Structure 1
């Protein structure tokens, strides 16, 4: 059984979370959900009570939202070098740009390519 289950839906921001799982070499399974046309299954709703993707079921709980999933996975796999650790003077700049990409740039890019 995989360590993680990533719940994704077409035309959502799930690609970023998927990329982080790939980058760290995580053992994961993808569960596609169709939030706009199907009744969500109970496992997905347990991972994402707001019925939004991406959502991730991991070894110690669930997390949803692209940035939260990416940071959760990256911090659980420090050897991959995807995050600046707490206490490092560069941490503030890392968090600033991380959240800028997730909340400002990514939505604009999605709008450009899916008007």
Structure 2
């Protein structure tokens, strides 16, 4: 590809990734409870970071940089959902219940009350 096309594709990918990161940060500020915030951070934040790393891979001409960028994307995709799930489970076990906007509490039947 020519350098102009590579720069355009890289710029578009960086803007798209930054928009997803912005949506994730707005979700952290605007959403009501820990579970909604965690969902915004893990989904949109992972997608934004991944797209920006892919932009780095498109822009880089070195195979080592491309390999590391792709490894970073895979790392994000494998770890973010698992860590969000474990953090949500720990928050529920610590006593943080979903807000009233949550229609169904699927864990309410599985957790025994303390006492």
Q: For this structure pair, what is the TM-score category when the shorter chain's length is used for normalisation?
A: 0.3 to 0.5
Q: Which has the higher strand share?
A: 1
Q: Which has the higher helix share?
A: 2
Q: What TM-score do you get using the length of structure 1 for normalisation?
A: 0.36
Q: Please tell me whether Structure 1 or Structure 2 has the larger radius of gyration of its CA atoms.
A: 2
Q: What TM-score do you get using the length of structure 2 for normalisation?
A: 0.36
